[in-house]
Each structure stands twice: as structure tokens, then as C-alpha cells.
Copies of this chain bind each other. A is one copy, B any other.
Amino acid sequence: MKSIQTELKQLNKNLHKMIAAENPILYSAAEQLFNAEGKRIRPTIIFLISKIINKHQIISTEQKRLAEITEIIHTASLVHDDIVDNGDQRRGMKTVHNIFNNKIAVLAGDFLFAQSSWYLANLNNLNVVKTISKIITDFAEGEVQQGMKSFDSQISIEEYIEKSFYKTASLLACSCKATTILNKSNKKVQNDFYLYGKHLGLAFQVIDDILDITGLSKDLGKPAGSDLINGNLTAPLIFALNTKSQLPQMINQEFLFKDNINETINMIKKTNATQKAKDIAEEHIQLAIHIIKNKYSYTNNKELLVLTYNLLNRIK
């Protein structure tokens, strides 16, 4: 996105200043995460929405700060997401909690959440504080829902979508809404962009989950099937459950044998499950696009539309 390159560069600089912890351990735990993620999808969306709704397409200082805050919250949630149960060590992969340890990961996450609360309060907009603090309760709710359904072959697609909303889509929905609140947009506009963020977030999660099955480890930056290994049963697997009778047993055995993960991935690929998952992602992308295209066509909506369409290209 050429039009927001300057803003994204500035965001990276500011993030490093914002998380300046006095403590070297907290600092390095946080810093390595800021370096790791380069995509900045959440800030990009906030910037593009700002350009659509703001006068003269100028992104306000508060909206830029909001973008930084959402990135800090996202990073904090990643750190806490990486903490594993003691019993799960054998399945452990190389994550922050391995490089440092569980305790430091908990604290680094708390520290980032707290820093984000501080900057949030300093935006001096209570409505935004309320909207954004909802993200973290939803995230915890989603994580627990996911944990409760771990290796549960009875999981339904509806439960999967609900969990995905709490865990992923709420952050985007609330961030998009907060962007409009900072522009003093009316309730209708606020609600439009909340729904846009919600559908985009759900599509985003489903696409990520498809890539965990169809992607190559080198592209993913983690082994394919990582979700399965951790008992996180996602859309492609859920759709395959009805057609492959061996699957429930392998799930109930928690993919006991080394080959089970590859076997499962191959089984899923032989069904139409991935296509069904793609259909869900496409449906949510269409719903998101519908909002931007029909209601905000009089403004500079092109870049956001392109970004939204392009999400689907990741799985094509």
C-alpha cells in the first residue's frame, strides 16, 4: 500500500519507543516480537479506513496511536497464546516461551497489555477505551473456548466460528469501530466498520487455518499442521470429519503417532473440506466488501477493497 508507507514506517519507529521498558528482559521479549511480524495488517486497515472516513483523507494523530495500540495488543496476545501447558511440553515448538520461559512470557504479555492500556487512556476518549478493552476479554474467552474443544472430534463448525470471532475477529471489529469513533463518525458508520472488521477477521482466521493444512512449512514459518498438533481443530478438518471415518479416532488419540499429522493432512486434501472452508472465507470477504463498496463508494475506498480481495489470493 503505497499511500500509507510513510505512516507504516513511522509506526515501526514509534512502537520501539513506546515499549521502552526499563528492564532489559522485558524489552528484549517485547522487541523480538515487534521485529518478527512485518505485515502490520491491523495498522494498515486502520490507516485505510481513516482515509475513507476522514476529511481530506488525513489520518489523525489519535488514529495513528490507535494503530500502534492495536499492534501492541495483538503482540501481547501472541505472547500469551504461545504459553503452553506443562503437560504439552512434548508437543512444544520454538516459541517465545521456549526462548525465554513461561513466566517471562506471561509478564512480557502483561507488560504489553498494560502499556497498551496506558496509551489507550491517553487517547482521552472513553468510548474508545471501552471499545478496545472489550478485545482482551473476548480474546481470553476465545482462547478458553479453543482449549475446551481441544482434540474434541465433536466440535461443530458453528463452535469453530464463534471461537474465531472471540479470538481473532473481535480485535479487528473493535479496532475498525474505534477508528470511526476517533473521527466522531455517527453510530451507523461505527457499526458498518465494526461489521466490516468482523467479517474480515473471520475470513482472515479461516484462511490462516486453511494455510495450516495446505501451506508449506517454509512459507508458514512453522510446521504445517501446527494447529492439529496442538489439538486446535479448524474448519478444513471439521468439514472432513464426516467423510473420513478414521479421523475421529486419530483425534481422540491426540495424533499419537508421528505420521498421523501427515496422514490427516493428506486425508483432508482428498476431500472437498478445504474448498468448503474457502467458501466460508469467501462469503465473509464478500460481506466485508459489500459494506465498503456500496456505502462508501463516494470516497477513496479502492485500496481497502484491494486489500480485502487480496486476502483470498493467499489461498489460491
Q: Is the CB of B137 within 8 A of A114?
A: yes
Flag if B114 contacts A144 (CB, 8 Å): no
Spot the interface stretch: A8-16, A21-29, A33-41, A221-229: A21-29
Q: Are A104 and B144 CB-contacts (below 8 A) given A118-B137, A133-B121, A136-B114? A: yes
Whether A144 and B25, one on each chain, are in contact in the complex, defined by CB atoms closer than 8 angstroms, is yes
Residues in chain B near residue A115, CB distance under 8 A: 137
Q: Does A84 contact B (CB under 8 A)?
A: yes
Q: A111-B137, A130-B121 are in contact. Are A26 and B106 (CB under 8 A)?
A: no
Chain B contacts for A110, CB-based, 8 A: 80, 109, 113, 136, 139-140
Contact A86 B89 (CB under 8 A): yes
Q: A143 near B: Cβ within 8 Å?
A: yes
Contact: B118 with A103, CB < 8 Å?
no
Cα–Cα distance between A283 and B85 once the two chains are bound (Å): 43
Contacts A121-B126, A130-B121, A133-B117; A141 near B106 (Cβ below 8 A): no
Closest CB of chain B to A94's CB: distance in Å?
Answer: 14
Cα-based distance from A140 to B80 in the complex (angstroms): 14
How many of these chains are in the complex?
Answer: 2
A86 and B101 in contact, given A23-B141, A144-B25 (Cβ under 8 angstroms): yes
Is A122's CB within 8 Å of the partner chain B? Answer: yes
Q: How many whole Å from A149's CB to the nearest CB in chain B?
A: 11
Counting chain B CB atoms within 10 Å of each CB, the highest count among A101, A103, A124, A147 belongs to A103
Cβ of A153 under 8 Å from chain B: no
Report A244 CB to chain B, min CB distance, Å. 29
Residues of B within 8 A of A87 (CB): 101
**Assuming A21-B141, A107-B140, is B85 touching A101 (CB within 8 A)?**
yes
Given contacts A25-B144, A130-B118, A140-B26, contact A84 B111 (CB under 8 A): no
Whether A133 pairs with B114 at a CB distance below 8 angstroms is yes
Q: Which residue of B lies closest to A87 (CB)?
A: B101
Please give, as numbers and ranges, the residues of chain B lying within 8 Å of A141 by CB-CB distance. 21-23, 26, 111
Chain B residues contacting A270 (CB-CB under 8 Å) are none
In this assembly, does A276 line the interface, its C-beta being within 8 Å of a C-beta of chain B? no
Q: Does A83 contact B (CB under 8 A)?
A: yes
A interface vs B, CB < 8 Å? 21-23, 25-26, 80, 83-87, 89, 101-104, 106-111, 113-115, 117-118, 120-122, 124, 126, 129-130, 133-137, 139-141, 143-145, 147-148
With A110-B136, A113-B114 already in contact, 19 other A-B pairs whose C-beta atoms are closer than 8 Å? A22-B141, A23-B141, A23-B144, A80-B110, A83-B103, A84-B102, A84-B103, A86-B86, A107-B140, A107-B143, A110-B139, A110-B140, A111-B136, A111-B140, A113-B136, A114-B133, A118-B130, A124-B126, A129-B129
